[in-house]
Amino acid sequence: NAGVTQTPKFRVLKTGQSMTLLCAQDMNHEYMYWYRQDPGMGLRLIHYSVGEGTTAKGEVPDGYNVSRLKKQNFLLGLESAAPSQTSVYFCASSWGENQPQHFGDGTRLSIL
């Protein structure tokens, strides 16, 4: 009964490095989301997907790219990491528009 699984759980990068965060859900949800959470800022939506093969920009998309090649997976990429991208990243999924979202347990990313 995994729900939403995020990998990795922790990562430290150097400025300029690239990496991909993986989100996998086993609930057959159509919608998937990537958020970042910073102290005092709350959850901010980076990108989201309303179905396999679709992606859309959220509130803070700059510096990130996403792909949804399979329905169960949603990948978040950082092409050239910057210290401002140090954050906790959460993936979420839902079965439909404006329905409750189920979250993964987060990826803590530090960029030096």
Partner 1 sequence: RKEVEQDPGPFNVPEGATVAFNCTYSNSASQSFFWYRQDCRKEPKLLMSVYSSGNEDGRFTAQLNRASQYISLLIRDSKLSDSATYLCVVNKFGYSTLTFGKGTMLLVSP
Which residues lie near partner 1 (CB under 8 A)? 31, 33, 35, 40-43, 45, 48, 50, 56, 58, 88, 90, 97-106
Minimum Å distance from CB 18 to partner 1? Answer: 25
Give me the least distance between CB of 82 and partner 1, in Å please: 23
Residue 28 or 40: the one with the smaller Cβ distance to partner 1 is 40
CB of 53 to partner 1, least distance (A): 15
Count CA atoms closer than 13 A to 93's CA, side-chain side: 24
Q: How many residues does the chain have?
A: 112
Identify whether the C-beta of residue 29 lies closer than 8 Å to the C-beta of residue 94.
Answer: yes
Which residue, 36 or 85, is less far from partner 1 as judged by CB?
36
101 contacts 33 by C-beta, under 8 angstroms: yes
